[in-house]
Every structure is written in C-alpha cells, then in structure tokens.
Amino acid sequence: MGETYAEVTLGDNGKRVKKTLLVDTGATYSWIDAATLTALGVKPRREIKLETIEGHMIKRKVGAVEMEYDGLTAPTMVVFATGKDSEVLGLHALEGLALEVDPTHRTLKKLRAVKALGSLRAYVFTILVWFSVGSTYAETLEEAFKTAPAKLNAATDQTLKIAVGEFKFEGVVPSAFGEYLASEISALLSKMPNYEEIDRKNLHKILEEQKLSMSGLVQEGSTIKPGEIKGVEAFVSGNFFDAKDHVKVAFTFVHTETGKTYTVTGTIKKDNIPSGIELRPANYKAVAKALELWGEAEGKSKELKVKVWVDSPDGLYKEGETIVIHFVVNRNCYIKLIHTDSSGKMQELYPNSFEKENYVKANEVYSIPTDEMGFTFDVSPPYGSEILKIFASTNQFQGETVSKPKEGEVFKDLGKADGESIQKQKRATRGITIKGIKPQVTDATCVFTTMEKEK
C-alpha cells in the first residue's frame, strides 16, 4: 500500500511551525518532538502510559495543540516525543480534522463519517466549524442547534427531548465557565420550538433513579450503553480550553438511542464573557499535578472495568448542596476509593467504618453515603476541584488487611496529596499475587468542583 505523509501546521497565537508527518492510523495520538512543542509554548497536561507496537509500556507527557491541514483547523492531543520516538500523525488528529487516508493516492481526504473507537458509539458524524471573526457566538451556536437533529438522524418534525450535560476545562475539570455555557445553551433552547430541554432538577432525578452519569455515555469502556437513559433522547456537553484572549470550545451532541454524535468547535472572545466567571478553579494547578502523579494503574487490565461518578449532572456543586458518590465494576472484585478534597487532603472513602469489607459484586451500583449511614457530604469551604480515584483488583490489595479507619473515624486519613503520599497509595493498590495467579487491576477517576453560593 505504501506510506502516506501529510504536511501540517502546528501552533497558534503567533507561534507556528510546519511538519511533514507519517500518517499512522494505528497510533491514537500524534507524536511530535518535545523540543518543537516546548518552543511553541505547548505545556504538558499530564503523563500517561502508552503501549508500543512491541507490547511494551512506556510513559510520555501529553498536551494539546492546534493543528491545521489544507484549510481545516482543530485542537488535538499530542505526545511529547523524546529520544528515538518517531513523529507521526495519529488517529485523534485525523478524526478532529475530519480526514481519512486515501490509500490509492496516498493522501488525506475529507471524510463523510467516522467509526467510533469505543464500544459505546456505533457511529460518529463529526463536523468542525470554527467561528469566524465576524460572526457572533450566539448566531453560530444557534445554527449548530438547528442542524443537530438532522446530523443525529433524529426526526426533524418532532420535538427532541435534550439534556444539557457537563462542560469541562481541558476535558477534566468542571468550573463556573462550564456552568455559564450550560446556562447560555438553556436560554437558547427555550427559544427553539423543536427542542424540549430536560431541566437540571429532572435530569438529576432521572440519573439518580437509574444510577447513571451523563459523562458515562461518551467514555470508552463505559458500562452504560445507548438507550439506557430513559426520558432523554439527546444531550449536549463539551470541553473548553484557554487560548489567551479567547476560549476554545467543543460542543458535542449525542443521540442516546443510536449513539450518534455531532460536534461543533469554535472560539469565544474573553471580552464577551461576563466578569467574575472563572475558566478554571483556583486550585486547578494542584489538581492537574495530582492527576499527573496518579496516572493510571500499573498493568491496567482491558477486561476488568470500574467507573466512579457523582450525582450532579454537570459535576458542579454549590455551597449547602449535598454530594452522593456512585461506583460500579463489571466483575466481582476488591476496590479502594480515595478522595482528595480542594485543600489536598486525602481520605479513603471505601472501605470505611460502615462498609468494612472492600469486596464488591459485579454490575451492582454502590453509593456513598447511603441512607443507612446516617450522614451526608455537605458542600462547604474551601471550594475548588476535588478528585475521586478508584482502584479495582481481582485479588486483595497489598496490606489491605491492616488498612482500617481509626476508632471513631468514618474514613481513613491518608495525609496530603503530595508525590510521596500518592506513590505510597499506588504501591498499596497493587493486587497480591496468589499462588502464581497475577491479579487483574484497573482504575478510574472522577473530578468534581464545589463553588460558593451565588449572592
């Protein structure tokens, strides 16, 4: 078939560089020389584990950069290539730019549809529309909502029941700006007769009754399948990124029955955002550092699945509200759930003084707290983003038999979320090998944000 190369332009905000890259559809992310990314001002977001073609596990830093090809532009995740790493153009960039390989001419061409990588999405139709300088945010977003039903193959002559979900900074952290985006969309939906918005309270009730989370619909490997959110036909959520004088936003529409998605990306000038609305929580840097330190479970299993989420549809809580945490696994196994609050204090939420055993059953949703526990998680200062990290293992964890809360404590105190403490917990979450049988181990993360009540 031969190799395909593509010339792309990387960077924005005055710093740009052209690269000729080998197109590698077997690579999830694009790999770019670390020195080039650093010169462009691209900062690593976190460090992840990657599997090489030989089956080896390596660690590399990843970040986000704007990529342009033949007049098409989109933000994409890139790996900071080091040493003997080859520079390649990966699948994430191709999907973001709505491109595919033409094997006959060994070039890239615009695609009609993209097959989803995750088992959840049967089919993805992606269209990228960067907001032009002369148009307004509201006009462009309204046009996107007008075309969304057709793109999702929903009936255009009927009212579409839609829910507004999460909007996260860099796809990780809920914030006040995400709430602002959601409110703007709600205001727009109220003026469009072909939509019926499921309001937040009703959405909260639906998700709690079915023990589901909105984010689970579009996460690869999720235990939630299309059509399981009853009463909601579609939802819109998204991610946003800081781009100096403007904010880059990606809105994704999902049809809950078919799994089809439709994405519109664009920019909003910061001058048009009301004052006092923060893009990211004040403790974001500490949260990003902690997430980088946690990374992923060593030897993460592809068969064992675990999911953790909170009961707020958008991952945001205001002062005085209560938080309920849910988790589920797909196999009988042992679990450990660790919470880091906005001040960096870590506690082990499961097992605890109420649930002393950490062996859980497959496909059964567990909640903390339950009514029987007799307490609630109430939102109070300090505010900011908080992390839930859950580990699952088919064998008991190392040292778990002596890991119990102190007398009178509900949860075990694990100290501050610094490098030493996190590494200690990671060592403790390695499953014990029993008579030569290595455990299957996996993990999952949930980030939610608490905020002061509006005055």
**What residues does each domain of the chain span?**
5-110, 137-272, 284-451
Q: Out of 237-251, 317-331, 338-352, 371-385, pick the least confident.
A: 237-251
Residue corresponding to tokens 């990387």: 10
Indicate the burial class of 105 (C-beta count within 10 angstroms; 0-12, 13-18, 19 or more): exposed
CA distance 89 to 347: 41
CA distance 301 to 393: 9
Specify the 3-state DSSP secondary structure of 203.
Answer: helix
Question: What's the average model confidence in pLDDT over 430-441?
Answer: 76
Model pLDDT for residues 390-420, shown as the tens digit of each residue:
999 999 987 654 456 677 788 999 999 999 9
Most confident of 155-159, 208-212, 248-252, 340-344: 340-344
* Secondary structure of 79-145 in HEC code, one letter for each residue: EEECCCCCCEECHHHHHHCCEEEECCCCEEEECCCECCCCCCCCCECCCCCCCCCCCCHHHHHHHHH
Question: What's the average model confidence in pLDDT over 179-184?
Answer: 88
- Residue 163 predicted with pLDDT over 90: no
Q: What pTM value is reported for the model? A: 0.67
Specify the 3-state DSSP secondary structure of 225.
Answer: coil
DSSP-assigned beta bridge partners for residue 437:
434
Most confident of 43-57, 128-142, 243-257, 427-441: 243-257
pLDDT of residue 234: 85
Record: fold of 284-451: Immunoglobulin-like (2.60.40)
Model pLDDT for residues 378-390, shown as the tens digit of each residue:
999 999 999 999 9
- Residue 1 predicted with pLDDT over 80: no
Reported confidence tier of residue 132, pLDDT bands at 50, 70, 90 = very low
In total, the chain counts a number of residues equal to 455
CA distance 229 to 252: 17
Reported confidence tier of residue 441, pLDDT bands at 50, 70, 90 = very high
Q: What is the CATH number of domain 5-110?
A: 2.40.70.10
pLDDT of residue 403: 52
Indicate the burial class of 190 (C-beta count within 10 angstroms; 0-12, 13-18, 19 or more): exposed
- Residue 138 predicted with pLDDT over 50: yes
pLDDT of residue 216: 42
Are 68 and 130 contacting, i.e. CB atoms less than 8 angstroms apart? no
CATH architecture of 137-272: 3-Layer(aba) Sandwich (3.40)
Mean pLDDT, the chain, integer: 80
Percent of the chain at pLDDT exceeding 90? 32
Percent of the chain at pLDDT exceeding 70? 81
Reported confidence tier of residue 123, pLDDT bands at 50, 70, 90 = very low
Model pLDDT for residues 42-90, shown as the tens digit of each residue:
888 778 877 766 567 788 888 888 888 988 888 888 999 998 888 999 8
- Which is higher by pLDDT, 225 or 327? 327
Q: Out of 3-7, 37-41, 219-223, 271-275, pick the least confident.
A: 219-223
Reported confidence tier of residue 118, pLDDT bands at 50, 70, 90 = very low
pLDDT of residue 62: 86
Spell out a b/e string for 222-257, using b for 16 or more CB atoms within 10 Å of the CB, else e.
bbbebeebeebbbbbbbbbbebeebbbbbbbbbbbb
- Which is higher by pLDDT, 116 or 373? 373
Model pLDDT for residues 290-338, shown as the tens digit of each residue:
998 998 877 888 899 999 999 887 889 999 999 999 999 999 999 999 9
- Residue 215 predicted with pLDDT over 50: no
Reported confidence tier of residue 131, pLDDT bands at 50, 70, 90 = very low
